[in-house]
């Protein structure tokens, strides 16, 4: 099925039968991707006395309770409410779901013992393109990212100037294959988050950050349409399923 999408007075055709899923599924396993010093997620059948809500254990239905943290356990999309005193829900912030996106690949640079992504790198990768969304893949890019245990590993992160640059270019939706766009332990500074959402000025209430994606190496850098699907949680962050579509 071919769909035509119009944005900025230009028409694009995408094949809806060829989605590229760049989310990481949530599994009840110690090998589920993890960060922020949390235990693994749990998916467990409800129990009521001797009755266990599992068909495999004799019940008529499977009826599971899921315990997880959206920031720690997989692909999630967050809004400015992640770092504001006033509660804001991503379910209210994200009200459109298709965006023209640019997929770029960046090799984090060494800086004072950390690996970082700079404004210079992103500016080089994007050139003069203006996009509603940017999908940032870091290298090395192996399938280890699907089950990496990130706590206490100081993963790569964005420098503040990189986040400012993306904001000033009008990027509303940033997607990255790391647990955070900020340094794991930064004494609560959250410089990249604050810069991207412009918390020192007019807050970007409709801007989102999606973390813990995974873009296979077979998917080439370039322009795509992004369908940013979220679960309707009234929370600062929610599990999400970003899908890329090649432009025909």
The full set of domain ranges for the chain reads: 2-26+70-246
22: nearest Cα among 165, 188, 146: 146
What backbone torsions phi and psi does residue 147 show, to the nearest 5 degrees?
-140, 20
- Axis crossing angle, helix 119-126 with helix 160-168, rounded to the nearest 10: 40
Work out the average pLDDT over 190-213.
98
CA–CA gap between residue 169 and residue 86 (Å, rounded): 27
227: nearest Cα among 245, 209, 211, 210: 245
Work out the average pLDDT over 28-42.
98
Model confidence pLDDT, tens digit, residues 87-132: 999 999 999 999 999 999 999 999 999 999 999 999 999 999 999 9
Tell me which fold the domain 2-26+70-246 belongs to: Glucose Oxidase; domain 1 (3.50.30)
Q: How confident is the model at residue 140 (pLDDT cuts 50, 70, 90)?
A: very high
CA–CA gap between residue 46 and residue 202 (Å, rounded): 45
Residue 100 pLDDT: 97
Work out the average pLDDT over 211-239.
98
CA–CA gap between residue 30 and residue 115 (Å, rounded): 26
């Amino acid at each position: 099925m071919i769909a035509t999408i119009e944005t900025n007075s230009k028409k694009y055709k995408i094949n809806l039968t060829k989605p590229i899923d760049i989310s990481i599924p949530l599994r009840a396993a110690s090998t589920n991707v993890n960060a922020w010093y949390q235990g693994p997620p749990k998916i467990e059948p409800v129990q009521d006395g001797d009755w266990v809500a599992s068909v495999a254990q004799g019940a008529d239905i499977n009826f599971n309770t899921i315990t997880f943290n959206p920031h720690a356990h997989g692909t999630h999309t967050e809004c400015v409410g992640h770092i504001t005193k006033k509660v804001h829900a991503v379910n209210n912030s994200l009200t459109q779901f298709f965006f023209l996106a640019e997929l770029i690949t960046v090799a984090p640079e060494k800086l004072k013992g950390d690996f970082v992504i700079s404004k210079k790198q992103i500016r080089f990768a994007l050139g003069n393109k203006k996009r509603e969304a940017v999908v940032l893949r870091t290298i090395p890019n192996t399938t280890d990212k699907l089950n990496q245990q990130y706590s206490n590993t100081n993963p790569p992160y964005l420098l503040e100037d990189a986040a400012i640059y993306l904001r000033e270019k009008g990027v509303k939706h940033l997607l990255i294959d790391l647990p955070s766009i900020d340094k794991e332990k930064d004494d609560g500074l959250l410089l990249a988050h604050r810069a991207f959402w412009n918390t020192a000025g007019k807050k970007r209430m409709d801007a989102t950050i999606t973390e813990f994606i995974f873009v296979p190496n077979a998917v080439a850098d370039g322009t795509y349409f992004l369908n940013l699907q979220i679960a309707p949680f009234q929370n600062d962050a929610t599990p999400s399923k970003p899908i890329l579509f090649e432009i025909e």
